Structure 1
């Protein structure tokens, strides 16, 4: 088959590498235009573009796929199938109709749960016990197409957004290889999604990382794991932002106001929550790197002391 791939971030680059290693005939790669990044704001290629350039696959970076020119460019590649993973651009109906076997999307959830931009983090934050990869036949809706293949994985108690992302990226590559084989052999059965079970994983924002100490400790622990490494979570102490990189929920309740530091020992800093207690184990003070609470205490700085209030 003549395969066109469309994707942008690391999650998609992993799938592209898997397709290349499996020997699929990649006739073109679509990715978003280079964006400024880093302190110098230099234009940097996406992870997907980097993989494509390393393997001499033609790269296309249109600002939109809605123009006749962009659609003709794709049609000229004569793709049998288009594989899409976290591309970031809308595929209009005219594009969906170009590949003879349609467009397959690698989505990082067990659809119809967590359609949208941030399914990995939303699954952890919500306390889901499992998630997975869905290979979906794309239509004009937002992750609403018929499901062709689903592969599940448990969400472990110590999973972060980063660890689950990496596991699902690998699973996504394996799943699309299986799906393409089934497509060729005519063995895939399209299963419509149950709209009654659908929910939306809205895009992440840095503001969501502000910890509300009125919430239960278990919810805050999940949020800290979900938003690690990005966008991160934080609290305010004396007008300064303290980033929280690791914590665990304890069942102990306190009669102190939510946000009050209850205890500061080498194994963690305990903070009263709306329900339960959150033990902070890894922090980052302004102008410093992330460190364990033990290292913080060794540094001798009198912050996050019992009786102080976090906001």
Structure 2
């Protein structure tokens, strides 16, 4: 029986871990990030992969930093045949990459060599891509640069956002890995080198990427909203206070008003001028210090003071 160490952290990784367990592989340990404080009350919360591992009765290892740690030695001493990672969140040192007999493979949420890095799903939507996918790849010291074993493409729908694509790609990754692992064990899998000149990068989302620039065109702003939904969420400011924009649409209005200006107020939305003379219709938002709400509730309540001509910046 093939002995596997699984390494992953968020919800994306959970169906993949569950599949390996259901397929009967000998999972020696599950390696994930440490528990973290969550919410205003800073409640220590385990990562989703840990919760699933505990449910399945699997040993859990949670290194703060893998390199030069006692946990690293512990993982190597397990003697796994194969290490499988899926959104683990840390770089694997060479000593670990070299340890398993069958190598280390990663389930990556893009069509490599495009969108190497920690935020491939976010970035593909921010860039307005019409398709993405999953790559199963061998791991090496360079970021997401290892040989490709298998890939599967999927369309990004007009209404998709980062959350919905995480769900889709998690299932595709699970199924693709299920089909791929037997060939790795048998030594019959394909192994294709990446074309370095085609590589692009999707680094973790910065605070600067979250702020909306109303001089951008309406389509780019819409992609920003859905690319950052449901986390970390795009934001703008009104009267010096931050406003998170949870959901929006490209509006129907054309305008010559200054970008950021409120040009239309309806029952369940309001529209803001953008840089290409179109508008962005705001449907779901969160004013500073308040809960998330629909635009209709906002306009009926505290937002009733919003007027045509008000300026978002």
User: TM-score, normalization: structure 1?
Assistant: 0.95
Partner of 2:279: 277
What are the within-5 Å matches in structure 2 for residues 1-311 of structure 1? 1-67=2-68, 69-250=70-251, 252-275=253-276, 276-299=278-301, 301-311=303-313
CA distance in 2, matches of 1:300, 1:61: 45
Q: Secondary structure at the match of 2:250?
A: strand
Equivalent residues of 1:269, 1:304 under 8 A apart: no
Which deviations, in whole Å up to 9, do the C-alpha atoms of 1:222-245 show, x marking residues without a partner? 000010111101111111222211
Q: Secondary structure at the match of 1:296?
A: helix
CA distance in 2, matches of 1:53, 1:107: 24
Moved more, 256-265 or 283-292: 283-292
CA displacement at 1:43 relative to structure 2:
2.7
CA distance in 2, matches of 1:26, 1:257: 58
Q: Secondary structure at the match of 1:162?
A: helix
Distance 1:295 1:78, change over 3 A: same
Unpaired runs of 5+ in structure 1? Answer: none
Equivalent residues of 2:61, 2:71 under 8 A apart: no
Equivalent residues of 1:266, 1:294 under 8 A apart: yes
User: TM-score, normalization: structure 2?
Assistant: 0.94
Equivalent residues of 2:82, 2:101 under 8 A apart: yes
Equivalent residues of 2:211, 2:236 under 8 A apart: yes
CA distance in 2, matches of 1:30, 1:102: 16
Equivalent residues of 2:63, 2:69 under 8 A apart: no
Which deviations, in whole Å up to 9, do the C-alpha atoms of 1:250-271 show, x marking residues without a partner? 4754211111110001242111
Distance 1:295 1:36, change over 3 A: closer
Unpaired runs of 5+ in structure 2? Answer: none
CA distance in 2, matches of 1:36, 1:255: 47
Equivalent residues of 1:65, 1:95 under 8 A apart: no
CA distance in 2, matches of 1:213, 1:244: 13
Moved more, 282-291 or 195-204: 282-291
Which portions of structure 1, spanning 4 or more consecutive aligned residues, are displaced by more than 6 angstroms? none
Which deviations, in whole Å up to 9, do the C-alpha atoms of 1:49-94 show, x marking residues without a partner? 1111112211112233332744432232111100011112221111
